[in-house]
Structure 1
Amino acid sequence: MAKNFTRSDRIAQQLQRDVAELIRAELDHPKASLITITDVEVTRDNSHAKIFYTFLGTPEDAQLIAAKLEQAKGFLRSELARGFKLFKMPELHFLYDHSIDRGFKLDTLISQAAALPKAEDDGEGEA
C-alpha cells in the first residue's frame, strides 16, 4: 500500500535536509556543526516553517547558537529559495527541541528506578 504524502510533508523533508547542510557549511560559528535539525513543520499554505533543532553543548553556547540562528534566518531563507520552486519561500522559525533532553532525563529516572532493590512479595496472592 502506497503512502500519500502531502506537498507540505515533502517540502518539510527537503527543508530539513537543506537547512542542515546550509547550517553546517555556511553558518559562521565554530560550533555550528553541533546543531542537529530534528524536525520541520510547514503550514498548509507554505508561508511558515518551524525548524526544530538540538545542540550538543553548554546552555550558554545554546543561547549563542539560538541568537546566531535568528540572525542568520534571512540569509538561510534566501539561500534555500535558490533551490526551491515555490511561489513564496516559507518564513523560518527556529525552535529548540527539548524532547531529547526530556528523553535523557526519563532514561536516567528509569535506570535509577531499575537499580532500586525490589520489594519482596508477601505471598498473599498464592493458593
Structure 2
Amino acid sequence: MPYRPERVREFIKEQVSEIIQHQLKDPRIGFASVTDVEVSADLRYAKVFISVLGDAQAKTDTMAGLQSAQGYVRSELGRRLQMRFTPDISFRLDESIEHGTRIVTLIRKVTKGSDDDRPPLPDRGSPQKKP
C-alpha cells in the first residue's frame, strides 16, 4: 500500500477511536474499540471495523448507535483531517477476535484429548535407555 493511504488509515483509526471513546454520549454504545480501517484508493471511503465487548444484544445496540452517529463522526473527523475531502465512513462489526478465540478453544480441546492417549515424553536432561 502506498505511504499516504497508510498514513490516512492510521490517522482515521486513531481519531475515530478517540471520538467514540470520549465524545459520543449515546447510551447504546457500549465498550467498543476500533480494530482496523480500510480506505479506498482515492481516499473517499473508509470502512471502520469495530469490536464490541458483550453479548449479541450489546453488539446490535452499539452498531445501531454508531450508525446513528455516523454523520457526527464524519464531521468531527473532517475538522481534524487536513484533506480536501473527508472520507465517507461506514462501520462494520469485526468478529475476528471472537472467531480466533473460538478456534483456539477448539484446538485446545483437540490437543487436550490427544494428550491423554500419548505416553509421557522422556526427560530431555537424562539420556534415554534403549530396550
TM range (shorter): 0.7 to 0.9
Please, which of 45, 54, 57 is the counterpart of residue 54 of structure 2? 57
Residue segments in structure 1 that go unaligned for 5+ positions in a row: 122-127
Partner of 1:39: 36
Mapped partners of 2:118, 2:66: distance in 1: 54
Q: Which amino acid aligns with 1:87?
A: R
Mapped partners of 1:120, 1:56: distance in 2: 38
- The farther-off stretch of 101-110 and 23-32 is 23-32
Q: How big is the shift at 1:31?
A: 6.6
Partner of 1:27: 24
TM normalised by structure 2 equals 0.83
Residue segments in structure 2 that go unaligned for 5+ positions in a row: 120-131
CA gap of 1:80–1:120, structure 2 versus 1, over 3 A, is closer
Aligned residue pair count? 118
Partner of 1:81: 78
1:113 paired with 2:110, answer yes
TM normalised by structure 1 equals 0.85
Contact 2:51 2:95 in 1 (8 A): yes
Q: Which has the larger radius of gyration?
A: 2
- CA RMSD, 1 decimal: 1.8
Contact 2:47 2:90 in 1 (8 A): yes
Contact 1:20 1:37 in 2 (8 A): yes
Q: How big is the shift at 1:117?
A: 3.7
Q: How big is the shift at 1:32?
A: 4.0
Identical counterparts, % of pairs: 31
